[in-house]
Amino acid sequence: MPADKKFTKLTKVYKDRRTWMEEFVDFVDNYKDSEQRVELQSQLKALEGAKDAYEEARENLLIEDEEADEVQMRTDRRDFFKKFHQVRGFIMDMLKTDESVQPIANSTMANTTTVSVKMRLPKLELPTFDGMKRLEEPTQHWNTPLTTLVMYKFDNTTLIAYEHFAVENKTDTYDLLMEFCEKRIPILNSTALHSIGVIGTRSATKAYQRNRFPDQ
């Protein structure tokens, strides 16, 4: 498209979008509440769309036409947005009036109308500890879960040691397990100490010294 025709088209679109605001001004000037209140929401939405379309047309013309009259376009923009804010303010005020009236109507209905609603809530099943009862073990002791959790941490050597320790007991109890742990911990600590290369030494007896060093 030749440049002249392109500029002519952009200018035409710009002027058209600028005149859209006159339709909203006419809506405000001739507004009849009884007939046009239902149009407020749609008019507000259309107003925002007209603003965006005008801004886009103005920007395109400024970018493409280097000889555009920027001073006049700034004046046009100022006039456009003055009308835009006046129309938008009018519509918002009318919508706020609707919002302030609605709670009063709702309050009146609430005071004059009583609604009784019966609701049947679902029965909630709370968790129980019947599993322990099925094992024929009183739930107040908790020996089985506690001993199982502790023994789960044992290594094979410690587990075998516990089996030897508790061989005469028919059941595992938490107290018995704690007794075993108290006796087992010092043994494990001692084993760990010697496993890192520490060699315990004792002084030689006098008889050994005489046999080893006869000249002394």
- DSSP-assigned letters across all residues of 108-159: HHHHH--------PPPP-----HHHHHTT--TTT-HHHHHHHHHTT--HHHH
| Contacts with 56 (C-beta within 8 Å, 6 or more apart), sequence order | 17
pLDDT in tens, the chain (216 residues): 666 788 889 899 999 999 999 999 999 999 998 889 999 999 999 999 999 999 999 999 888 888 888 899 999 999 999 999 999 999 999 988 766 555 544 555 445 444 444 555 455 454 455 565 555 555 555 677 777 777 777 888 888 888 888 878 777 787 888 888 888 888 877 766 655 554 444 444 444 445 545 554
Cβ atoms 95, 44 nearer than 8 A: yes
Q: Is 40 exposed, middle or buried (0-12, 13-18, 19+ CB in 10 A)?
A: buried
Pair 89, 170 in one domain = no
> Are residues 151 and 92 both part of a single domain?
no
Six-digit token string for 61: 């013309």
Which pTM does this prediction carry?
0.45
- 149 lies in which domain range? 141-195
Q: Report if residue 158 sits inside a domain.
A: yes
Considering its fold, how many domains does the chain have in total? 2
